């Protein structure tokens, strides 16, 4: 197990076997995102995509009060952009997550607000503590949750999303579960995350890696293009070493020995 501090110690990266733990380390600011957090997450996701031994990434916030409260409004620069640059920092983070083929798990330990909802939605799976709160309060400061819509609109229904965006009011963990924002609400958050990780790391790395690639590409395709893409992809799944090993293990009634290839 190794832990490293990234720029300004705002983001901690800890490798525990096949799992990478990323912790936003700004509890005094309710884990609001700094430039260092955004840049660090982009770098970590890019590196993770090249690491064939990595099986999952867990994203969380330091302490017990907040997962991520969004942009740090205290800086006065949260919405200051270089308008000559067509691609901006937080949007680049969402792009990096979309291009990541390692399962991303959100461990939502507390308040998940504004841009924090984008971090939640960019993850593939999410488990929340009962005290977690979720919201898009941007309208309360005169803006709108624009970038996070790219990852939220396919996750929850339009009515629920419109309510969150237009009223700016927060909801609790149980309601977040009911509308599909999270997979589970757990009293013992760490135990639930470990249980989920155990359910992932015993599966075929190659199938999961190619599967996430498949799922993320299907999101923007109409039906005919989608079905054409999937019928070609299933043939590629079958060509992997993991596919041959998995089927052999099934026939021989034994546990598979995955190569990840």
Instruction: Give the pLDDT score at 173.
Output: 98
Task: Provide the residue-wise pLDDT of the chain in tens; the chain has 261 residues.
Answer: 555 544 459 999 999 999 999 999 999 999 999 999 999 999 999 999 999 999 999 999 999 999 999 987 666 555 555 666 656 789 999 999 999 999 999 999 999 999 999 999 999 999 999 999 999 999 998 989 999 999 999 899 999 999 999 999 999 999 999 999 999 999 999 999 999 999 999 999 999 999 999 999 998 889 899 989 888 888 888 889 998 988 898 899 999 999 889
Q: Are residues 173 and 48 in the same domain?
A: yes
Q: Are residues 36 and 138 in the same domain?
A: yes
Instruction: Give the pLDDT score at 89.
Output: 82
Summarize pLDDT for 199-210 with one digit per residue, the tens.
999 999 999 999
Q: Are residues 196 and 214 in the same domain?
A: no
Give the domain extent around 230. 205-252
For the chain, the domain total comes to 2
- What is the residue-wise DSSP string for 106-142? EEE-SEEETHHHHHHHHSSEEEE-TT-EEE-GGGGGT
Enzyme catalytic residues: 138
The pTM score is: 0.89
Q: Are residues 20 and 66 in the same domain?
A: yes
Q: Are 101 and 162 in contact (CB under 8 A)?
A: no
Q: Are residues 129 and 223 in the same domain?
A: no
Residue 260 resides in a domain: no
Instruction: Give the end-to-end CA distance of the chain in Å, rounded to a whole number.
Output: 25
Residue 33 burial by Cβ neighbours in a 10 Å radius (0-12, 13-18, 19+): buried
Residue 143 resides in a domain: yes
CATH number at residue 124: 3.90.226.10
Q: Are residues 23 and 138 in the same domain?
A: yes
Q: Are residues 190 and 228 in the same domain?
A: no
At residue 172, the 3 state secondary structure works out as strand
Q: Are residues 32 and 47 in the same domain?
A: yes
Residue 259 resides in a domain: no
Task: Annotate 181-191 with b (16+ C-beta within 10 A) or e (fewer).
Answer: bbbebbeebee
Q: Are 74 and 95 in contact (CB under 8 A)?
A: no
Query: 220: which DSSP letter?
Result: T
- The CA distance from 151 to 155, in Å, is 7
Instruction: Give the pLDDT score at 72.
Output: 77
Cα 11 from chain centre: 15
Q: Are 71 and 38 in contact (CB under 8 A)?
A: no
Q: Are residues 148 and 225 in the same domain?
A: no
Q: Are residues 143 and 27 in the same domain?
A: yes
Q: Are residues 180 and 234 in the same domain?
A: no
Q: Are residues 190 and 210 in the same domain?
A: no
């Amino acid at each position: 197990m190794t832990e490293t501090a990234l720029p300004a110690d705002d983001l901690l990266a800890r490798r525990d076997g096949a799992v990478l733990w990323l912790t936003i380390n700004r509890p005094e600011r309710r884990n609001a995102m700094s430039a260092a957090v955004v840049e660090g997450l982009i770098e970590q996701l890019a590196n993770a995509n090249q690491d064939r031994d990595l099986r999952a990434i867990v994203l969380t916030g330091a302490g017990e009060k907040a997962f991520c409260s969004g942009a740090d409004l205290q800086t006065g620069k949260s919405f200051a952009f270089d308008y000559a640059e067509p691609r901006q920092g937080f949007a680049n983070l969402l792009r990096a997550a979309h291009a990541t083929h390692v399962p991303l798990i959100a461990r939502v330990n507390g308040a998940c607000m504004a841009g924090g909802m984008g971090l939640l939605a960019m993850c593939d799976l999410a488990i929340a503590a009962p005290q977690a709160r979720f919201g898009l309060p941007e309208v309360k400061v005169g803006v709108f949750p624009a970038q996070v819509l790219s990852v939220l609109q396919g996750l929850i229904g339009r009515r629920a999303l419109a309510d969150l965006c237009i009223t700016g009011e927060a909801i609790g963990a149980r309601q977040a579960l009911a509308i599909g924002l999270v997979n589970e609400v757990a009293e013992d958050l760490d135990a639930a995350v470990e249980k989920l990780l155990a359910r992932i790391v015993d599966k075929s790395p190659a199938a999961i890696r190619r599967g996430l690639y498949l799922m993320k590409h299907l999101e923007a395709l109409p039906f005919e293009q989608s079905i054409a893409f999937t019928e070609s992809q299933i043939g590629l799944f079958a060509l992997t070493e993991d596919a041959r090993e998995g089927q052999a293990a099934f026939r021989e009634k034994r546990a598979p020995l995955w190569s990840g290839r």
